[in-house]
Amino acid sequence: MHILVVSQYFWPENFRVNDLVKEWGARGHVVTVLTGLPNYPLGKVYDSYRSNPQAYRYYEGARVIRVPMLPRGSGGLRLILNYLSFVVGGCLWGPVRLRGVQPDVIFVFEPSPVTVGLPAVWLGQRKKVPVVFWALDLWPETLSAIGVVRSKLVLGWVAHMVRYIYKRCELVLGQSRGFMTSLAKYCDNKDKIRYFPSWSEDVFIEGNVQPAPEVPRMPGTFSVLFAGNIGEAQDMPAVLDAVERLKENLAIRWIIVGDGRKTEWLQTEVFKRGLQDRVVLAGRFPVERMPSFYAHADALLVSLKRDPVFSMTIPGKVQSYLMAGIPLLGMLDGEGAAVIRDADAGLTCDAGDGEGLANAVLALAAMPVEVRQRLGLNGRHYAQQEFGRAQLMDRLEGMLAEAVALRKANA
């Protein structure tokens, strides 16, 4: 197949879509990627891209086509303009730069925003090919959950746009079973909805990894590591509440690896609260480096704010955490917490419960090493069974073929 991937984010940005493109190329498919300018999460176009954009024209054999786009910058207005600029660039410049490219199917990667679907369905109509939409975030629910949009009128407009996109897709994939009900509200045909979760990257099962030199070694310390996006959804205020409750316990250390829109707030709060001796803010690193940071961890932390939409979400890091074979600490509700419990891979507390998280850290730290090792191995086994990369790649490949067959049958 010739697969056209439409994604606002792509290499050198770190997103799971990179792994998809690499895998499809290895399986013999022709892949073209329509994307924007790399600027996530810092909000400005990467210096390496600015200095040599030609070096980013191909990725693992896939041709990468970029359209004009305003970088994220800082602030809510700039973020909205960033989203809209990709829609405009994709709809106006996409057809021009994809002239002569005739895919069999269009695949949409949507961690957020849902607006990425607009240029995709426009291209699908022009090229008369099916569109498969992978929803990793729920709009308009997420906009309301994190307080970005409070107007019911605006949320109604967004809901109308979501219906418009889903109606023009052959298949709509949801990253958790909890997504199915929400997706069904906006789909004209419920039969087009499929469950497709994120997979566990194989890089996290590598052995003999040397601990990252960026983090000081502290023998005898129980280290809790958080890795990934640092934004509103991750509820860093509740995480810092737990840190403060344990700041007199010198045997507990917190390592935060990542970046995002709440990074500056987090840095300021850590120093304001006098937590700099308890918290290591390591910064952002590529996914390939993550195992070296995990090597410092006795527990891996995942957190989400308390909201019905987040209770339906399984954060992508959960699959990676499970595969790492290290116990999990979850401060979240719903499906994400259920995965940790079902896997018997760690301890959980309610979303937003800083005191509960602090107690869970103490409980896990007090466990014998062999018990924590068993929890970690439970998680890895569960990840291999439920989120194995090879089996999910096979399933997705089958869904793309199904979409092509459905379009032909309905033509």
184-212: pLDDT as tens digits: 999 989 999 999 999 987 666 666 788 99
pLDDT of residue 118: 98
pLDDT of residue 142: 78
pLDDT of residue 141: 81
pLDDT of residue 207: 66
Q: Which of 192, 142, 143 is nearest to 167 (CA)?
A: 192
pLDDT tens digit sequence for 83-93: 999 999 999 99
Cα separation, 118 vs 128, in Å, equals: 15
**Alpha carbon of residue 305 to chain centroid:** 15
Level-2 CATH architecture, domain 2-199+388-410 = 3-Layer(aba) Sandwich (3.40)
pLDDT of residue 205: 65
pLDDT of residue 409: 87
pLDDT of residue 19: 94
pLDDT of residue 153: 87
pLDDT tens digit sequence for 343-385: 999 999 999 999 999 999 999 999 999 999 999 999 999 999 9
In the CATH scheme, what is the code of domain 202-386?
3.40.50.2000
Q: Which of 112, 113, 134 is nearest to 194 (CA)?
A: 134
For 200, residues 6+ apart whose C-beta sits below 8 A from its C-beta are 319, 320, 322, 323, 383, 384, 387, 388, 389
Q: Which of 284, 291, 297, 303 is nearest to 254 (CA)?
A: 297
Tokens of 140: 């308009």
Tokens of 329: 């600490």
**Alpha carbon of residue 88 to chain centroid:** 24
pLDDT of residue 306: 93
Instruction: Write out the residue limits of the CATH 3.40.50.2000 domain(s) in the chain.
Output: 2-199+388-410, 202-386
- Beta pairing partners, 132: 107, 171
pLDDT of residue 410: 81
Cα separation, 157 vs 149, in Å, equals: 11
Q: Is 286 helix (H, G, I), strand (E, B) or coil?
A: coil
Which stretches of the chain score pLDDT less than 50?
none
